[in-house]
Amino acid sequence: MTSIQRGALIVLEGCDRSGKSSQTRLLYDFLCTHGVSAKHMVFPNRNSDIGSSINAYLKNCKDLSDEVIHLLFTANRWEYKKEMEDLLNSGTTLVVDRYSYSGVAYSVAKGLDFDWCMAPERGLIRPDAVFYLKAPFEHLMNRGNFGGERYEVKDMQLKVANVFDHISESQKDFWHIIDASQTKDAVFENLSTKVLEIVEQIKETPLRNL
């Protein structure tokens, strides 16, 4: 009997307003129309009890210490680990808007230690590919609704970008930098081609953990 080929874990990361939400939705639709079983996911997932606390914090309705909110973000990802694992092993490709790296980048940007921030992420599923949508801050701040949430301020976003740069440099084997200052269509064309290649490449490989 032929074993089921697994799906790919595809993650889009980047600063606020870099186009992650639009591109993950486009990628999901693209994969479905190309016969790839796929699911679109977003972190934080604000639908759970943990997610509702995160949402209140991000909307400036609730104050929490930097350490507590970091661990809540991590716990939110752990809530969905089993579901993600089952979907991937059943052949479904996951297209994920933000993942562990956002949690680490934003907390480190607030002054927390990188290794401390990364420690609770260990054991979560490692992405097969991370696409880092990178653009100058001045370009991002001109996009609609910038400044609507807690972290959408220049100083914070520049620090976050520096952490993303550091991580992408140290993990070049599965991180891909995408110029997010291009048009939405140009970004998508670049992404979709690479994602299809990765979906094919990883089918017979085992899942790995961070």
User: What CATH number is given to the structural domain containing 190?
Assistant: 3.40.50.300
Above pLDDT 70, what percent of the chain?
A: 92
Residues ≥6 apart with Cβ < 8 Å to 155: none
Confirm whether 173 is domain-assigned: yes
Confirm whether 61 is domain-assigned: yes
Does position 202 have pLDDT exceeding 90, yes or no? yes
What residues make up the domain containing 47?
A: 9-201
pLDDT given at position 127: 98
Lowest model confidence (mean pLDDT) among 22-26, 96-100, 149-153, 185-189:
149-153
Model confidence at 58, in pLDDT bands (50, 70, 90)? confident
Residue 18 one-letter amino acid = S
Confirm whether 207 is domain-assigned: no
CB contact at 8 A, 63 and 44: no
Confirm whether 192 is domain-assigned: yes
Confirm whether 3 is domain-assigned: no
Tally the domains of the chain.
1
Confirm whether 145 is domain-assigned: yes
Does position 142 have pLDDT exceeding 80, yes or no? no
Confirm whether 128 is domain-assigned: yes
Average pLDDT, the chain: 91
CB contact at 8 A, 100 and 124: yes
Q: Where are the beta strands (DSSP E) in the chain?
A: 9-14, 38-42, 93-97, 129-134, 175-179
pLDDT tens track for 157-170: 899 999 999 999 99
Confirm whether 197 is domain-assigned: yes
Distance CA 204, CA 119 (A): 29
pLDDT tens track for 70-91: 999 999 999 999 999 999 999 9
